């Protein structure tokens, strides 16, 4: 089977928008106090850093997610999530995205654990749901 370096074909700015929409479904707010009032603090790597105007907390787009300490390009994170959702093997994802197998395995485990934590606890239609974001830490 041929592995394609598809991360090189994706636009990071579009992937940043996708990550913001899917990692922060309720809106991109300060993880410390919940305020949406922020200022740009520093441009660094692929993810700008912000300071909250309410609590002076420091955060990035990845703060509070399983990708918090990651320095990977936005395209790599989007493709990693896509591969995990499709059931791609850890080895294949690692090769295609130029990541270590351990990194892919660890992220897969964290995402699957969060998925298990956020599954409904009762039958549909009863309104009960065991909270927790899919990609939260």
**In the chain, what percentage of residues exceed pLDDT 70?**
79
Q: What is the DSSP letter of 65?
A: B
pTM (two decimals)? 0.78
Tell me what the mean pLDDT of segment 73-84 comes to: 93
How does pLDDT run across 35-58, given as a tens digit for each residue?
A: 999 999 999 889 999 999 999 999
In eight-state DSSP terms, residue 9 is G
Residue 27: partners with Cβ closer than 8 Å, 6 or more residues away = 36
**CA-to-CA distance for 66 and 108, rounded, in angstroms?**
10
Helical ranges in 1-137 per DSSP H: 12-23, 74-86, 90-97, 101-117
Q: What is the mean pLDDT of the chain?
A: 85
Query: Coil, helix or strand for 118?
Result: coil
- Let me know: does 49 contact 28? Beta carbons within 8 Å: no
Percent helix, strand and coil across the chain, each to the nearest 5: 40, 10, 50
Under the banding of pLDDT at 50, 70 and 90, the label for residue 70 is: confident
Q: What tokens were used for 105? A: 């395995």
- Kindly state the average pLDDT of the residues 58-69: 92
Q: Model confidence over 126-135: pLDDT tens digits?
A: 444 444 455 6
């Amino acid at each position: 089977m041929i592995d394609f370096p598809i991360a090189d074909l994706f636009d990071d700015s579009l992937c940043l928008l996708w990550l913001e929409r899917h990692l922060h479904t309720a809106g991109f707010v300060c993880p410390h106090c919940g305020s949406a009032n922020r200022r740009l603090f520093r441009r660094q790597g692929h993810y700008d850093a912000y300071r909250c105007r309410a609590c002076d907390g420091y955060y990035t787009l990845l703060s509070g997610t399983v990708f918090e300490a990651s320095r990977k390009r936005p395209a790599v994170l989007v493709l990693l999530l896509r591969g995990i959702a499709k059931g791609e093997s850890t080895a294949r994802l690692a090769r295609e995205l130029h990541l270590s197998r351990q990194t892919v395995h660890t992220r897969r485990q964290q995402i699957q654990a969060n998925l298990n934590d956020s599954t409904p606890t009762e039958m549909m239609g009863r309104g009960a749901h065991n909270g927790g974001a899919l990609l939260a830490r």
